[in-house]
Amino acid sequence: MMARFRQNCWFEPALIALIIIIIGLVLPSTYYFRIATLVLIAGLSATGLNLLLGYAGQISLGHAGFVGIGAYAVAVLPAKFAVPSLLAVFCGTLVSGIVALIIGRPILRLKDHFLAVATLAFGILIAMVLNNEQWLTGGPDGMAVPRVELFGIRIRSAQSWYWICGGVLVLAVVLARNLLDSSTGRALRALHDSEVAARSAGIDVARIKSIVFVISAVFASLSGSLYALFNGHVTPDIASFLNSIEIVTMVVLGGMGSLSGGLVGAVILVVLPQALSFFHEYEHLLLGLLMILILVFMRAGIVPTLAARWARGRT
């Protein structure tokens, strides 16, 4: 019965929602709420990238570019053009989606290293624009983001942002789950296994790739918007190559092709540097070591490895 319950497409989102609620009730201070909120925001972009990387098998090393578009949309539009913040979030996702659609078609024809390099170039391009167009973006020192108002109340506490980001993340997981359980999802997995076989089975490979690229870009853009609104300040670092790598690492570490895997990866990459900060000089060393160990001993990623172990233990 348990097994049948786990097959249900609502199981994973419900479990994630439950965990978010429980954690939200026990966190002691603003600092912990801030860390937890950063996990949720990172989790959102990891979920998007997981669809692309984990399910469709297409790499993107430029996802921070979309995060940057989302972040600067809520910074620039309200400050310079008096667009309300919520509308700016929508504009950001729309722009990211359209950009993904336009560049997705030619870029996704590429394979392996070529795809990696093309997406990498895209991310760096966005970071360069944000750095150089000082009149618009404030240049390398970044710019302040106006606080968002909902029903006349200014939202600024980490607590409220935790619940907002939690809600958005659960919604995103539900959407992703639904997508994966649809015919598009099955096409994605077919594509992952063999592009040629998928094509000969009558799947419009280019269209499927485009769809999933756009969706993952929208998720990344949304997470960028949330990050900027939550922080109240953005710098071009958000679109940097390192940030792109961090999102990829979350997915690979937590488990490609597992929605909760991306979230576990986000937890590790956000929480671990905080826990290691007392080892100041050795922080990067320990972080790197831990990642190598996980990748050597849990090659499929944390969640799939543990899940397989658990399933084997029960039979």
Partner 1 sequence: MTLHKSLAIAAGLLLGATSLFGGAQAQDIKVGAVLSVTGPGAFLGDPADKTLRMYVDEINAKGGVKGRKLQLVIYDDGGDAGKARTFATRLVEEDKIVAMVGGSSTGTTMAMVPIFEEAQIPFISLGGAVVIIEPVKKFVFKTPHTDRMACEKIFTDLKQRNLTRIALISGTDGFGKSMRDQCAAVNAKYGVEILAEETYGPRDTDMTPQLTNLKAKAGVQAVINPGFGQGPAIVTRNFRQLGFAVPLYQSHGVASKQYIDLAGDAANGVRLPAAALLVADKLAASDPQKAVASAYATKFQTITKEPVSTFGGHAFDGLMILVGAMERGGFDPKAIRDEIEKTKGLIGTAGVFNMSASDHMGLDLSAFKMLEIRNGDWALAE
Which residues sit at the interface with partner 1, rule CB under 8 A? Answer: 29-31, 34-35, 38, 131-132, 134, 139-142, 144, 158, 227, 231-235, 237-238, 271-280, 283-284, 286, 290, 293-294, 297-298
As to burial, measured by CB atoms within 10 angstroms (0-12 exposed, 13-18 middle, 19+ buried), residue 55 is: buried
Q: In angstroms, what is the minimal distance from the CB of 275 to partner 1?
A: 5
d(CA 310, CA 315): 9
Which residue number, 59 or 73, has a Cβ lying nearer to partner 1?
73
Which residue number, 195 or 237, has a Cβ lying nearer to partner 1?
237
Which residue number, 19 or 197, has a Cβ lying nearer to partner 1?
19
Q: In angstroms, what is the minimal distance from the CB of 4 to partner 1?
A: 29
Per the CB < 8 A criterion, the answer to whether 220 and 49 are in contact is yes
Of 215, 193, 191, whose CA–CA distance to 202 is shortest? 191
d(CA 50, CA 41): 14
Which residue number, 7 or 277, has a Cβ lying nearer to partner 1?
277
Which residue number, 151 or 278, has a Cβ lying nearer to partner 1?
278
Of 260, 293, 274, whose CA–CA distance to 47 is shortest? 260
Per the CB < 8 A criterion, the answer to whether 169 and 20 are in contact is yes
Which residue number, 109 or 284, has a Cβ lying nearer to partner 1?
284
Q: In angstroms, what is the minimal distance from the CB of 39 to partner 1?
A: 11
Per the CB < 8 A criterion, the answer to whether 107 and 122 are in contact is yes
Q: In angstroms, what is the minimal distance from the CB of 197 to partner 1?
A: 35
- Name the residue type at position 155: I
Q: In angstroms, what is the minimal distance from the CB of 38 to partner 1?
A: 7
What would the two tokens of residue 278 be?
């007392």
Q: In angstroms, what is the minimal distance from the CB of 139 to partner 1?
A: 5
Of 263, 287, 75, 258, whose CA–CA distance to 180 is shortest? 258
